Amino acid sequence: MILFPYMTILVQNSLEVEVNLTGRKLTSEEIFRLSSALDAYEIRHHTEKEVVVDVKEIRADGSLTVFIDPKKQLSYSQIHDHVMKMCHDAMKSADLEDLDAEMSRVTYITENPGEPSVAGIPESMTVDGVKQRVLTMWGDVVERSIDDARRELGLIEDSLSPEQYEKLLETLTRSTMGEMKDDIWGRVCTEIENMVPEAENTLETQKEFDLDQGKSYLVLEDKPDKSFRIFVDQITHGVPGFIVTRQFPQDVRDKYGLERTDILWLSTRHDVPGTLDPANIGLLDHAIREYMDKTEHCVVLLDGLEYVVTTNTFNRVIRVLNTINETVMVNRDMLIVPLDPKAFEEKDLAQLVRYMETI
């Protein structure tokens, strides 16, 4: 059947689609491998100028909920092909080529219910007509998977509360620990578990920077020189510290004379101990908060947020920062985040400033 032979239907609103990976159920390890591969697809193929695709949830039964935000007008066929290509590419990268993927549901996200969710349609076409044609277009797909489509409807990614996200992340993390002793998650978690929080010194001199416990600080600067000064000032006055940085750890130790401070390197070198892939933002979140839970009143320096954002979406990053900030407040810790303001859009920078103290 040929639909709309006289016109092209173009999407103008965000969509939420359900994708089913058919073949078998996924293990917790496979869920994390697939999640990392899906996140990396957008970066590798530079698709963000056409369409932003965020995976909201991956379930053990092989179903995915995907949020799609077209950045230019795209046809349904183009969106379908993009999602399928992304899934198949990610399955190949995650060694899940025994599975297949099919789209089973489409949900329209609009601030103006009743208005068409597509562009390029003659004004004479009624809203009911548009809906009927869209349902016809996707009917065969939905019909084949109607049972699978009857699942709990989650919220779109931007509406997922920090508490819901933290609960989901904790559940996935806990269920995975026993299955991943020899992989990256297992290695990093073991390294965090073996860390012994310890201050560099206990000087009795006056601190240069008197930070408040239970607060997160945003340091606006081109290079993180001031941030490291603030951090070193704390750890030499009796406060245990932890550094997550894009800089090579030994260079940091040599430059600031650090011997006892634990350092995690943001790097894709998975074969090097003490490294963490910035694309694995769930593990980054877990590592920082796990360290904070090991000791009272510590200070954490997160250097390289710009790099983390380039390998994730900003929404994911701000959500993780919010969960870390909650741990900071509960444990009465301190978080220092250097940031080059020129690397962020004004609206994104405003969100960061809103939730953190600015130095």
Q: What is the pLDDT of residues 277-288, one digit of tens each?
A: 888 888 888 889
Q: Where in the chain is the domain with CATH 3.40.50.300?
A: 184-358
Q: Alpha-carbon distance 347 to 342, whole Å?
A: 12
Q: Helix (H, G, I), strand (E, B), or coil: what is residue 280?
A: coil
- In the chain, what percentage of residues exceed pLDDT 70? 74
The CATH fold assigned to 184-358 is: Rossmann fold (3.40.50)
φ, ψ (nearest 5 deg) of residue 253: -60, -45
- Using alpha carbons, list the distances in angstroms from residue 224 to 228, 247, 274: 6, 10, 21
Q: Helix (H, G, I), strand (E, B), or coil: what is residue 174?
A: helix
305 exposed, middle or buried (CB, 10 Å; 0-12, 13-18, 19+)?
A: buried
Q: E strands of 183-256, at which residues? A: 215-220, 241-245
Across residues 237-265, what is the average pLDDT? Answer: 95
CATH of domain 10-160: 3.30.70.1130
Q: How high does pLDDT run on average in the chain?
A: 76
Per-residue pLDDT tens digits for 50-84: 777 788 888 888 888 888 887 777 777 777 888 88
- Using alpha carbons, list the distances in angstroms from residue 124 to 129, 148, 174: 10, 36, 55
Q: Phi-psi region for residue 281, left (φ > 0), alpha (ψ -120 to 50) or beta? A: alpha
User: What pTM, to 2 d.p., does this model score?
Assistant: 0.52
Cα angle 223, 228, 229 (rounded to 5 degrees) comes to 110
Per-residue pLDDT tens digits for 143-174: 333 333 333 333 334 444 555 545 545 554 44
Per-residue pLDDT tens digits for 129-149: 444 444 443 343 333 333 333
Confidence (pLDDT) at 167: 53
Report how many helices (DSSP H) and strands (DSSP E) the chain contains, helices first. 12, 14
Q: Where in the chain is the domain with CATH 3.30.70.1130?
A: 10-160
**DSSP bridge partners of 265:** 245, 275
Confidence (pLDDT) at 239: 96
For 282-297, b where at least 16 C-beta lie within 10 A, e where not — what string? bbbbbbbbbbbebbeb
14 within 8 A of 70, measured Cβ to Cβ: yes
φ, ψ (nearest 5 deg) of residue 357: -75, 135
Per-residue pLDDT tens digits for 298-325: 999 999 999 999 888 888 888 889 889 9
Across residues 21-47, what is the average pLDDT? Answer: 79
What angle in degrees, to the nearest 10, is found between the helix axes of 162-177 and 28-45? 120
Q: What is the DSSP letter of 113?
A: T
